[in-house]
Amino acid sequence: MRPAPVAPHPSSPAHSDTHRPHWRDTFASLRVRNYRLYVISQVLTNTCGWMQRVAQDWLILSLTGNVAWVGLTVTLQLAPMLLFGLWGGVVADRFDKRRLLMITQSLFALSALVLGLLTLLGAIEPWHVLASAAFLGLAIVVDNPTRQAFVPEVAGHEHLRNAISINSTVFQLGALVGPALAAVGIALVGEGWSFVVNAMAGVVAVVLLVAMRPSELSAAPAIARARGQLRAGLHYVGEKPVILWSTVLVGFVAITGINLATVLAAYADDVFGIGAAGYGLLNSCLAAGAVAGALASTRRKSLRLRTLVYSAAVLGVLQMTAGVINSLPLFCIVLVGVGAVSLLYLTGGNTLVQTTVAGTMRGRVMALYILVLFGAQAGSGTLIGWIAHEFGAHVAMVVSGAGPLLGAVVVGAVLARKGRLTTRLILRDRPGRGLLYVVPRDSVPQAAVSLTPGLLSRGLRGRSRSTHPAERRRRRQPRAVPGRAAHPRQHTERTWTRTGRMR
- Round to whole Å and give the CA distance between 141 and 148: 12
pLDDT tens digits, 120-141: 998 889 899 999 989 998 999 9
pTM of the prediction?
0.70
- Pick the residue with more confidence: 184 or 490? 184
Once rounded to an integer, what is the mean pLDDT over residues 337-363?
Answer: 86
Percent of the chain residues topping a pLDDT of 70: 75
Instruction: State the amino acid at position 69 in one-letter form.
Output: W
- Pick the residue with more confidence: 462 or 307? 307
256 pLDDT tier (thresholds 50, 70, 90):
confident
- The pairing of beta strand 421-425 with beta strand 455-456: parallel
What's residue 336's pLDDT? 92
Once rounded to an integer, what is the mean pLDDT over residues 377-404?
Answer: 83
Once rounded to an integer, what is the mean pLDDT over residues 358-381?
Answer: 82
Flag whether pLDDT at 247 surpasses 80.
yes
Phi/psi of residue 424, nearest 5 degrees: -145, 125
Once rounded to an integer, what is the mean pLDDT over residues 306-317?
Answer: 92
Residues 6+ apart with CB under 8 A from 155: 29, 32, 34, 35, 38, 162, 163
Once rounded to an integer, what is the mean pLDDT over residues 430-434?
Answer: 60
Residues 6+ apart with CB under 8 A from 460: 425, 427
- Round to whole Å and give the CA distance between 71 and 51: 17
- Domains assigned to the chain: 23-218 (1.20.1250.20), 229-419 (1.20.1250.20), 422-476 (no CATH)
479 pLDDT tier (thresholds 50, 70, 90):
low
pLDDT tens digits, 219-240: 777 677 777 888 888 889 888 9
Buried b or exposed e, range 39-56, using 16+ CB within 10 angstroms? bebbbbbbbbbbbbbbbb
Flag whether pLDDT at 206 surpasses 90.
yes
What's residue 118's pLDDT? 93
What's residue 462's pLDDT? 37
Contact by Cβ (8 Å): 424, 459: no
- Mean confidence (pLDDT) of the chain: 77
What's residue 37's pLDDT? 93
What's residue 291's pLDDT? 81
Percent of the chain residues topping a pLDDT of 90: 22
- Pick the residue with more confidence: 297 or 272? 272
476 pLDDT tier (thresholds 50, 70, 90):
low
Q: Is 225 helix (H, G, I), strand (E, B) or coil?
A: coil
pLDDT tens digits, 3-16: 444 334 434 444 44
What's residue 475's pLDDT? 54
Please state the separation of Cα 477 from the chain's center in Å.
50
480 pLDDT tier (thresholds 50, 70, 90):
low
Least confident range of 79-93, 148-162, 483-497: 483-497
Once rounded to an integer, what is the mean pLDDT over residues 467-476?
Answer: 52
Once rounded to an integer, what is the mean pLDDT over residues 60-82?
Answer: 80
Q: At what angle are helices 126-155 and 97-120 packed, to 10 degrees?
A: 150
Flag whether pLDDT at 495 surpasses 60.
no
What's residue 220's pLDDT? 72
Once rounded to an integer, what is the mean pLDDT over residues 438-457?
Answer: 48
